[in-house]
Amino acid sequence: MASLSGQGTPKLTSAVGNLYYDSILPYREDANAQTREFLARVVDVLLDYVQKVNDRNEKILDFKMPEEMQKALDLHLPDEPLPLKQLLEDCKIALKNQVKTGHPHFFNQLSCGLDIISLAGEWLTAAANTNMFTYEIAPVFILMENVVLEKMRSMIGWKSGDSILAPGGSVSNLYAFLAARHHKFPQYKEKGLSSIPGQLVMFTSDQVNSY
C-alpha cells in the first residue's frame, strides 16, 4: 500500500503492536510514547486511504456479494480484547472494502468529494470529545457556532433571531414541524396533546420524501 510519502505504510513495532487497549492512554499515564505510535500508524492508514480516494486510477469499490464479504471479514465478537496490531489491521481491511464515496467517479446520492479541511475538523472535534450543551463544556465551539449561525441568518436577510444546526434534511423538517406546533399551540410544551383541540394533520404533495 502506497503512502502519501511514497513509501509503504509503517507498521507498529512489536513492543506496541502486542499491547492492548489498557496499556495505552488513558489507562497508563506513562504510555505517551506507545499511544503516539499507535495513533500515528492509524493516521498513516487514513492518509493512504485519502490518497486512494483521490486517485482516478483506483476503483471505487471491489464489489463483493454479502455472502462473499462475510467470508472476507472476521466479524465475530471475541470475549477477550484484541492487540493493537490487529486493530490497526482491521482498520486497513475496513477501508479496503469500503466504497470510496469521495472518488472523482462516484456519482451516487448524498455523498460528495472528500474535503480535506473538513476532515481535519472532524479529527479535531473527535479528539476534543465534547458536547455542544453549554459554554462551560465547549467554550470555543459554542462561540464558533454562534458566529456561523449569525452569518447564515444574515445571508437570508435576517438581522436577529435564533438558529440551530441539524444533521440532515429529515431532522430539519422535524424541527420545523415542532417549531410550527409550538408557535400555534405554545401550551403543548407543558400540557401535552390533551391541550390541543382536535387532531393535528400535515398536508404534503405526492412528491414528498417518504423516508
- Residue 40 backbone class (left: φ over 0; alpha: ψ -120 to 50; beta: rest): alpha
Q: Which of 43-57, 96-110, 114-128 has the lowest mean pLDDT?
A: 96-110
Kindly report the average pLDDT of the chain as a whole number. 91
Cβ-Cβ contacts under 8 Å for 200 (sequence gap 6 or more):
181
What integer is the mean pLDDT of 64-89?
Answer: 95
More confident residue, 17 or 194: 17
Predicted local confidence at residue 206, as pLDDT? 86
- Which cell goes with 105? 467517479
Question: At residue 59, does pLDDT exceed 50?
Answer: yes
CB 33, CB 81: distance < 8 Å: no
Give the percent of the chain with pLDDT over 70: 95
H helices of 101-204, in order, are 116-128, 139-155, 169-184, 188-191
Q: 12 to each of 15, 35, 42, 124, 134, how far by Cα in Å?
A: 8, 11, 10, 23, 39
Distance, CA of 150 to CA of 100 (rounded, Å): 34
What integer is the mean pLDDT of 120-146?
Answer: 94
Q: Nearest-CA neighbor of 114 among 167, 47, 61?
A: 47
Cis ω before 83 (30° cut-off from 0): no
Q: Which of 31-45, 69-83, 189-203 has the lowest mean pLDDT?
A: 189-203
Q: Where are the domains of the chain?
A: 14-128, 139-165, 167-211
The pTM score is 0.81
What CATH class has 14-128? alpha beta
Q: What's at 59, amino acid-wise?
A: K
Which of 36-44's residues contact partners 24+ apart within 8 Å by CB, and which partners? 37/12, 37/13, 38/12, 38/84, 38/88, 40/10, 41/9, 41/10, 41/11, 41/12, 41/88, 42/88, 42/91, 44/3, 44/9, 44/10
